[in-house]
């Protein structure tokens, strides 16, 4: 399948098929097409084929695309690691942010979210591996961060996000996703409205769906290989 339109339709059908295969409703999983390094025209082609949710990891790149695509009825997700000096742009222009990992970022997003917009939908990123080089809150600090975000009127805490270490072993892929699902279930005792697990990318989508993913972040399988670019704010979240 060489065209973005064909890949979009295939992946929309595939997420529904995999959800049903693993005992879930066909509409339980939302495909977020992560378009970083790809042009606005690629997003337009995917949207015409049915894509409704678009993810970006680089703020400046995303803002230029959003400005060119204001006519599209898509939901914008910021899925990269967020620096404090970029929170105003994300709070203003995005509908979702997937990788809140510290109180300062949440506070700035809450303060900078425009009053005329609906609350910004948020997921907390959890660092499942404990690697200092990776973003995400430590599991033992998760309850306190969730409690703080839940008090912020311009944010709506929806769930959790994680970026496990890559592996080709399906069983090893499922283990961290199952752990994240357990963390969400534990948080629901004090935050019953939580309903979102942002997990799974092009290489481990089925494992994530099997363990309860509600948002899968698909980049390469949808838009093709990424262009090489200098590293900026945002991490490899698709």
| Residues composing the chain | 238
Confidence class of residue 232 from pLDDT cuts 50, 70 and 90? very low
* Residues 19, 208: Cα–Cα separation, whole Å: 10
Q: What integer pLDDT is reported at residue 229 of this predicted model? A: 57
The CA distances from residue 167 to 125, 174, 175, 179, 191, in Å, are 20, 10, 11, 16, 32
In a domain, 30, yes or no: yes
Locate 123 and state its tokens: 């997921």
In a domain, 238, yes or no: no
Question: How large is the average pLDDT for residues 72-82?
Answer: 97
Q: What integer pLDDT is reported at residue 132 of this predicted model? A: 76
Q: How far is CA 116 from the centre of its chain?
A: 24
In a domain, 230, yes or no: no
pTM of the model: 0.94
- Domain of residue 115, CATH code: 3.20.20.10
**pLDDT tens-digit readout, 131-182:** 777 889 999 999 999 999 999 999 999 999 999 999 999 899 999 999 999 9
In a domain, 100, yes or no: yes
In a domain, 231, yes or no: no
Domain total for the chain? 1
pLDDT at 130 > cutoff 90: no
In a domain, 95, yes or no: yes
* Residues 22, 67: Cα–Cα separation, whole Å: 39
In a domain, 232, yes or no: no
The answer to whether the CB of 141 falls within 8 A of the CB of 101 is no
As a dihedral over the C-alpha atoms of residue 149, residue 138, residue 229, residue 91, rounded to 10 degrees, the angle is 0
* Residues 106, 111: Cα–Cα separation, whole Å: 9
Q: Is 59 helix (H, G, I), strand (E, B) or coil?
A: helix
Q: What residues have CB less than 8 Å from 72, skipping those under 6 apart? A: 43, 44, 47
**pLDDT tens-digit readout, 21-72:** 999 999 999 999 999 999 999 999 999 999 999 999 999 999 999 999 999 9
Q: What integer pLDDT is reported at residue 237 of this predicted model? A: 55
> How many CA atoms are closer than 13 Å to the CA of 75, on its beta-carbon side?
16
In a domain, 124, yes or no: yes
Q: What integer pLDDT is reported at residue 234 of this predicted model? A: 43
Confidence class of residue 231 from pLDDT cuts 50, 70 and 90? very low
Q: What integer pLDDT is reported at residue 238 of this predicted model? A: 53
**pLDDT tens-digit readout, 80-102:** 999 999 999 999 999 999 999 99
Domain containing 97: what range? 4-223
**pLDDT tens-digit readout, 180-216:** 999 999 999 999 999 999 999 999 999 999 999 999 9
């Amino acid at each position: 399948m060489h065209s973005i339109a064909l890949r979009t339709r295939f992946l929309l059908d595939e997420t529904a098929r995999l959800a049903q295969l693993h005992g879930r409703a066909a509409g339980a999983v939302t495909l977020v097409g992560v378009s970083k390094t790809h042009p606005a025209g690629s997003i337009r082609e995917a949207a015409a084929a049915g894509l409704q949710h678009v993810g970006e990891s680089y703020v400046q790149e995303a803002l230029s695309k959003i400005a060119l695509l204001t006519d599209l009825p898509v939901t914008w997700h910021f899925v990269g690691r967020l620096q404090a000096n970029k929170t105003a742009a994300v709070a203003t222009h995005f509908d979702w942010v997937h990788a809140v990992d510290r109180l300062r970022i949440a506070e700035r997003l809450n303060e900078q979210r425009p009053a005329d917009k609906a609350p910004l939908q948020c997921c907390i990123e959890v660092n499942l591996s404990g690697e200092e080089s990776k973003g995400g809150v430590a599991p033992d600090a998760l309850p306190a961060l969730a409690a703080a975000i839940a008090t912020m009127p311009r944010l709506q805490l929806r769930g959790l996000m994680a970026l496990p270490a890559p592996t080709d072993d399906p069983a090893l892929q499922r283990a961290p996703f199952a752990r994240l699902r357990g963390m969400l279930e534990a948080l629901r005792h004090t935050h019953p409205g939580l309903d979102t697990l942002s997990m799974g990318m092009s290489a481990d989508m089925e494992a994530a769906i099997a363990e309860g993913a509600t948002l899968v972040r698909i980049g390469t399988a949808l838009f093709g290989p990424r262009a090489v670019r200098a590293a900026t704010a945002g991490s490899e979240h698709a």
